[in-house]
Amino acid sequence: MDRLTGIGVSSGIAVGRAVILTQRTEVMRFPIPPDRIEREVQALHSARDLSRQQLRDISARIAQGPASELAALFDAQILMLDDEMLIGQAEKIVREERVNAAWAVHRAYEGLFELFSKMEDPYLRERENDVADVAGRLRMNLRHGARGPKELLSQIDGPSILIADELTASVAAQLDWSRVQGFATDAGSRTYHTAILARSLKVPAIVGLHDASLRIVAGTPLVLDGTTGELVVSPSPEAIDEAQRRAAWPRRKGTGAGEAGPIVTTDGVRVRLEANIELLEDLEYLNEYGAEGVGLYRSEFMLSGRALESVTEDEQYAMYRSLIEQVAPRPVTIRTFDLDERQVSRDQLRPERRRTRPGLRGLRLGLANPDLLRTQLRALVRASAHGPLRIMFPFVTGVEEVRQARAMLTAEASAFGRIAPGQIQVGAMIEVPSAALAADLLAPDVDFFTIGTNDLIQYSLAVDRTDDRVSDLYEPLHPAVLRLIRVVRRAAARHRIPVSLCGEMASDPALVGLLVGLGLTEFSMTPGAIPIVRQVVQELSAQDARRLAGHALRLATAAEIEEYLFDALAASAIQRSPSS
């Protein structure tokens, strides 16, 4: 038995087995029961087969282009997929340690990384990057079956305690608190965003444990005391019995899934929560979590690594029709392919266009390849006969792009005959500053706006979240970001078109009050976040939220806004506490 002491940030006792979430490597490790081993091994092999096909497609496309000599690099990666030191070792780890396949791949990769790093030959040392790419692709394809923490935790047998290196509020919002009894993190403080959320939801929590995520083995029994900040590792049976007697802390009502009925603030403002969807398998969560529709279907996920030109109109139509019919009578918003030029075959892009048009992505890419865009629009028009459909164009930068795309849609709808051109609603994603600042000019040409906060933050602040040198500057609460959101909302209101917000900000329950205060009442988020966001909204006064937003917009830095916002959230949690 070992005792670790951190900072107790949310009182209560929790008993369960350890599940380890390592955010920095984007992989979770958890124990699996004996009857799950073969399924996990099969998932590993399926991920290998899918990765092999993806790499073959990439190699074939590159072999036909100007840099054909680089195709051999991907041929080498294909060979790595059959190397016993990667897949074979990962399978061995699954069977012997009874852990999930994604973690086993990560462990196998770490062993290879150590081996390569000791090699004296510089060329061989550099091959570690290829191994990292292959391991990353395998983990990505394994996540197709269980993409987020909520879906992964749903596979765990019995109550658990989450141990994480770090845990953001938006990830915490996706967790199933009927399975996760409490959590502890290496980092954090009492004013940690997720700590405030934990207190609001009455989930026992400890932060500031430094290296618990490295020291604790997945599946280890734990007792967590969120009052004293003590985490007992491998407690005795007597200690577990005593903790379970003390763990009669009341579960907060309203955090469960599947609640029905409209979502309304305490002062009567109607708020609509829809779901972001990547695969048709995600649709089972719509009813479970009470989503009011699909606010964003990312159509590019149907490609699964295939070249865009290889997906036929009929294939697309079948996918869209199935999606619409399963969701009807609730609406579905389908975003046209949000890809960059690397995901379209080389011969489809004229060389001069590749040289002179940086940022060839989203709607720009579709307009640069009109045949591919028309194919998708025809499939969407055909599918619209089966239920409510909204088509959304991604990465819009100006009015002329929307007009061109809408003209193409009108032509395809007219040619189809049975669909009136105006029957399908058309929207623009506001993801870049030019679109946000010209929202009043865009509004007359569309039926709705969707603010994509992930890209809007990135392009507004010139920050690439994957670049460690500047990733800490990615700040949703930057005054410029909040002001751009307000600009878009006001433009939509003046032209009487709806505006929704998707992205990580929508899933963050700590930011919902601020966003409602900015005038937003429609959100689209990962399905698992809906129950907690619903609870936050139902306990929120829109009038108070407007005052909060008004003050936040007068502050000069993201740090000042963050401190003010979370002080207000903490005060609200105290006021709602039964002991206050």
Nearby residues of 453 by Cβ (< 8 Å), 6 or more positions away: 476, 481, 485, 501, 502, 503, 504, 505, 506
Q: Which residues pair with 294 in a beta bridge?
A: 275, 332
The verdict on whether 502 is a catalytic residue reads yes
Neighbours of 92 (CB within 10 A): 14
Q: How far, in whole angstroms, is CA 293 from its chain's centroid?
A: 17
Q: Which residues pair with 224 in a beta bridge?
A: 14, 231
What is the C-alpha to C-alpha distance for residues 530 and 491, in angstroms, rounded to an integer?
Answer: 27
Q: Is 569 helix (H, G, I), strand (E, B) or coil?
A: helix
The verdict on whether 193 is a catalytic residue reads yes
Buried b (16+ CB within 10 A) or exposed e, 153-186: bebbeeebbbbbbbbbbbbbbbbbbebbbbbbbb
Nearby residues of 238 by Cβ (< 8 Å), 6 or more positions away: none
Q: Which residues pair with 298 in a beta bridge?
A: 335
Nearby residues of 140 by Cβ (< 8 Å), 6 or more positions away: none
Q: CB of 86 within 8 A of CB of 51?
A: no
H-assigned helices in 64-189:
71-80, 89-97, 101-117, 122-126, 128-142, 149-153, 169-172
Tokens representing 36 are 């799950």
The 8-class DSSP code of residue 383 comes to: H
Q: CB of 452 within 8 A of CB of 459?
A: no
Given the residues 144, 193, 210, 478, select the one marked as catalytic: 193
Given the residues 210, 386, 502, 551, select the one marked as catalytic: 502
Q: Which residues pair with 31 in a beta bridge?
A: 99
Cite the active site residues: 193, 502
